[in-house]
Amino acid sequence: MTIWIFAILVMAAAALAGWRQGAIRAAFAFGSILLAALLAAPLGRLFHPLLPHFGASNPVTAWALAPVVGFIVGSIPLLVAGQMVHQRVEHFYKYSAGDLRLALWSRLVARLGICLGLLNGAAYFILISFFIFNLTYWTTQLTATAASQPLTIRLANKLGEDLQATGFAKTASAVGTLPPTFYQLADLSGLLMQNPQLGARVAQYPGLVSLWQREDLQALVTDPVLTNAMTSGASLGDIANTPSVQSLLANKELSKQLWGILITNLDDFSGYLQTGKSAKYDGEKILGHWEFNAGVTVAWLRQNQPKMPASEMRNIRAWMTQAYAQTRVLLTGDNQIFIKSLPHLKTQAGQPPTTEFENWKGDWSRDGSNYTLHVTFNGDDKFMSGTTDGLRLTIKDGKNMLIFDHAD
DSSP letters, 207-222, are TTTTGGGSGGGHHHHT
- Phi–psi pair at 390, nearest 5 degrees: 100, -25
pLDDT at residue 307, as a whole number: 80
Instruction: Fill in the amino acid letter for 357.
Output: F
Instruction: Fill in the amino acid letter for 133.
Output: F
Average pLDDT, the chain: 85
Rounded Cα distance, 111 and 104, in Å: 11
Give the three-class secondary structure for 356: strand
Contact 242, 228 (CB under 8 A): no
Rounded Cα distance, 130 and 90, in Å: 36
pLDDT at residue 408, as a whole number: 67
Q: State the number of CA atoms in the 13 A half-sphere of 396 facing the CB.
A: 10
pLDDT, mean of residues 75-100: 91
Contact 171, 122 (CB under 8 A): no
pLDDT at residue 47, as a whole number: 86
* pLDDT tens by residue, 109-119: 999 999 999 99
- According to DSSP, residue 378 is labeled T
Element (H, E) at 405: strand 400-406
pLDDT at residue 260, as a whole number: 82
Give the three-class secondary structure for 143: coil
Position 231 pLDDT exceeds 70: no
Contact 330, 290 (CB under 8 A): yes
Rounded Cα distance, 197 and 188, in Å: 14
pLDDT, mean of residues 389-403: 88
Global pTM value:
0.73
Helix axes 224-231, 243-250, angle to 10 degrees: 110
* pLDDT tens by residue, 362-373: 999 998 889 999
- According to DSSP, residue 54 is labeled G
C-alpha 221 chain-centroid distance = 16
pLDDT at residue 65, as a whole number: 84
pLDDT, mean of residues 176-183: 83
Instruction: Give all domains of the chain, ordered by start, each with its CATH number.
Output: 2-174 (no CATH), 180-275 (no CATH), 288-406 (2.40.128)
Surface-to-core class of residue 207, CB atoms within 10 Å of its CB (0-12 exposed, 13-18 middle, 19+ buried): buried
